[in-house]
Chain A
Amino acid sequence: MNAVITIAGREIREGVRNRWVLATTLVLAALALTLAFLGSTPAGTVKASALAVTVVSLSSLSIFLLPLIALILTFDGIAGEAERGTLLLLLSYPVARWQIVLGKFLGHTAILAFATIVGYGATGLVVGLAQESGGGWAPYLAMVGSSILLAAAFAAIGTLVSAIARERAVAGGLGIGLWLFFVIVFDMALLGILAADTNQTIGSASLPWLLMLNPADIYRFFNLASFGDVSTFAGLAGLSETVRIAPPVMLGALVVWIVAPLGLAALAFQRRSL
């Protein structure tokens, strides 16, 4: 386990030094604050707390941004070391390959978690303390927490890509492709299938379970439909009443989306010849 912490520590250190941590934190904070201020205008007329409004806008943004940042941060992890020739030396050390996979993942996830907590946390404090109606803290905290899980899931997917790809360029391309698939194509494809499915063979009960096949949709569903206050504002109140998946189950599904790619990454890396 020591080796895992050592490798994670190095990733964090490099991240601090090459300003990845700083840049990511600033980007997330700036976007969150912008959305919060833009979104606070209509909050006065609708009976929803400013924080709940922010959850809706911010989680919609996070779905695009966090997976992208996570994939960009992680795709290079193993493929880059292999290409630069430093992996050869690392593997001659008393370190198991799964420890390298886990260490890189934990280091990158720590960077993402820090940026999310600081960036979104600062925004939450500003909005939450300034709002008049009060409340909305629980959905906001749940949103920050699930954002970290979302980032971790895509960090795990990025680590998997990095462990499989022979070259950095391939890993980068695969990463962008997966981002497009999960964030854009998946929903469009699902919508298309539902529209074409005139006989309703896919019942409305199974729809939420289909969404569990995509970590980005789990995140969206969790944040927009779990809390009454938020779902009213997001216009999803109807959906969440007819088809309900308990929030812990959704979080569990996100955790599966972290553990499964990581396990596959360790397995793929173990079999890889150098």
Chain B
Amino acid sequence: MSDAPVRLEKIAKHFGGVTALENVNLTIEPGEFIALAGHNGAGKTTLFKIILGLVRPSSGAVSVFGAPPQSKRAVGLRSAIGFLPENVTFAGNLTGIELLRYYARLKRVPLGQCTDLLDQVGLGDAVRRQVRTYSKGMRQRLGLAQMLLGEPKLLVLDEPTSGLDPDARRQFRSLLEERRRAGATILLSSHALVDFEEAADRIAFLREGRVVACGTIDELRRASALPVRIRVRAGPDAHAALAKAVGDMADVRPVNGQSVELSCAADKHIAILRRVGELEAVDTVEVRPPHLEDIYAHYRNPGDRDADGDDGDREGETTP
């Protein structure tokens, strides 16, 4: 267990009087894919810097592959880590391929990998141009290539898809999926959560430096207690019958002349569907469980949570 790729225990980090992180506990098991969500300034980047040994936590214990990231031993262990910083930049007058070879040498990886990797990320002919002429998308691709050098066992990605067009995003996801099948552990932060809703094993929400929720998407849905929305298409005269059928199990709200929306607690929605199904006038039924984006919004804004009226546990933390 001690060689878990990442283990954070009661991590806190203060910059002067500002609290960047507070009581963060997170263990990432080998082969796990964890997505980290949170607004700007929630502490995601600081958390990554602590994992990479760039910042010393004010208190708490960190270990990466069993060693504290600022120890001497950790320097060598970093060959097993691939990092893609937020807004990755490359300065200087070296070309893409020269720069990748430089990073390959630093990581003691055979230089032959470089051309293959540049092909994989689709940099094409740009590899012979100086990196300072690169567009944001090209820098991101080169950043991706350097991250994949040496097939690292742990990938740490800070906002990897920002600045990528939809095509590149898809390409990026499949590259990540490939690494995951090869057994890599992945820790990623993103605003574009939809990109990773399917892929991530667990999702952790960070707010004001605290992990306010962490779990699988199902666990988060349950913990957030956000309603399931059921949209029923039926003639206007059927609306009253619908309201009567569901009783107090759901809120009924007409959407337009043709449809009504029922919102109910997640555990009631099967019972509601049964009753709705019995009604003659019902045309179609569409069930929408809370989206990751909804859950994200729910955890991001404490105000919203009170508005939802179901806010028993402020930390809302679920431990799988």
| Chain A residues within an 8 Å CB radius of B169 | none
Q: How far is B108's CA from A95's CA once the two chains are assembled, in angstroms? A: 11
- A9-17, A46-54, A117-125: which lies at the interface: A9-17
Q: Using CB atoms, name the residue of chain A closest to B98.
A: A13
Query: What residues of chain A lie closer than 8 Å to B78, measured between beta carbons?
Result: 92-95
The answer to the question of B126 belonging to the interface, with a C-beta cut-off of 8 Å to chain A, is no
Inter-chain contacts of A10 with B (CB < 8 A)? 92, 94, 102
Output the least CB separation between B86 and chain A (Å). 9
Alpha-carbon separation in the docked complex, A218 to B56 (Å): 41
Question: Is A273 located at the chain interface by the 8 A CB criterion?
Answer: yes
- Bound CA–CA A141/B78 (angstroms): 45
A18 neighbours in B (Cβ, 8 Å): 93
Q: Is A86 among interface residues, defined by CB-CB distance under 8 A?
A: yes
Contact check, B93 vs A14: say whether CB atoms are below 8 A apart: yes
> What is the interface of chain A mostly: helix, strand, loop, or mixed?
helix
- Contact pick for B91, options A7, A17, A81, A274, CB 8 Å: A81
Q: Is the CB of A93 within 8 A of B103?
A: yes
CA–CA, A249 to B92, complex, Å? Answer: 40
Contacts of B56 in A (CB 8 A): 273
Judge whether A252 is part of the interface by a CB distance below 8 angstroms.
Answer: no
Which residues of B are found within 8 Å of A13, using beta-carbon distances?
94, 98
- Which residues of B have CB within 8 Å of A93? 78, 103, 106-107
Complex: chain B residue closest to A11, CB-CB: B92
| Complex alpha-carbon distance, A3 and B79, angstroms | 12
Residue A244 lies at the interface, judged by CB distance under 8 Å to chain B: no
Of residues 94 through 124 on chain B, the ones whose CB sits less than 8 Å from some CB of chain A are 94, 98, 102-103, 105-108
The number of residues on chain B lying at the interface, defined by a beta carbon within 8 Å of a beta carbon of chain A, is 33
B14–chain A nearest beta-carbon distance, Å: 12
On chain B, the residues within 8 Å of A2 by CB distance are: 105, 108
Residues of B with C-beta under 8 A to A273: 54-56
Closest B residue to A273 using CB positions: B55
- B103 CB to nearest A CB, Å: 7
Q: Determine if A92 and B93 form an interchain contact, defined as CB atoms under 8 angstroms apart.
A: no
A86 to B77 alpha-carbon distance, docked (Å): 20
A-B contact count (CB 8 A): 72
Known contacts A3-B106, A10-B94, A274-B49; A91 and B54 CB within 8 A of each other: yes
Q: Closest approach, in angstroms, between the C-beta of B303 and any C-beta of chain A?
A: 33
A85 within 8 A of B: yes
Q: From A3, which residue of chain B is reached at the shortest CB distance?
A: B106
Whether, in the assembled complex, B83 has its beta carbon less than 8 Å from a beta carbon of chain A, the answer is yes
Cβ contacts under 8 Å, A1 to chain B: none
For the complex, is B146 an interface residue (Cβ under 8 Å from A)?
Answer: yes
How far apart are the CA atoms of A89 and B77 in the complex, in Å? 15
Cα distance, A6 to B109, chains bound together (Å): 13
Distance of A87 from chain B, by nearest CB (Å): 9
Chain A nearest CB, measured from B117 CB (Å):
15
Cα-based distance from A18 to B78 in the complex (angstroms): 31
Task: Report if B183 contacts A (CB, 8 A).
Answer: no
B88 near A89 with CB under 8 A, answer: yes
Q: Does A88 contact B (CB under 8 A)?
A: yes
Interface assignment of A205: CB less than 8 Å from any CB of chain B? no
Tell yes or no: B171 within 8 A of A by CB.
no
Alpha-carbon gap, A72 to B52, bound state (A):
31
Contact between A92 and B52, CB atoms less than 8 A apart = yes
Contact A86 B102 (CB under 8 A): no
Given known A92-B78, A93-B106, A96-B75, contact A85–B93 (CB-CB < 8 A): no
Contact yes or no, B102 A91, CB < 8 A: no
Q: Is B258 an interface residue (CB 8 A)?
A: no
> B59: shortest Cβ distance to chain A, in Å?
15
Q: Is the CB of B81 within 8 A of A92?
A: yes
Interface residue ranges of B59-96 to A (CB < 8 Å)? 72, 75-79, 81, 83, 85, 87-94
Shortest distance in angstroms between A15's beta carbon and chain B's nearest beta carbon? 10
**Residues of B contacting A84 with CB < 8 Å?**
89, 91
Check B92 against A92 for contact (C-beta < 8 Å).
Answer: no
A6 in contact with B89 (CB, 8 Å): no
Mark B residues whose CB is within 8 Å of A: 49, 52-56, 72, 75-79, 81, 83, 85, 87-94, 98, 102-103, 105-108, 143, 146, 156
Extra A-B contacts (16), CB below 8 Å, given A10-B102, A13-B98, A89-B88:
A2-B108, A7-B106, A14-B92, A80-B91, A81-B91, A88-B49, A89-B146, A91-B54, A92-B54, A92-B83, A92-B85, A93-B103, A93-B106, A94-B106, A96-B72, A273-B54
5 A-B residue contacts at CB 8 Å?
A80-B91, A85-B89, A93-B107, A94-B77, A94-B108
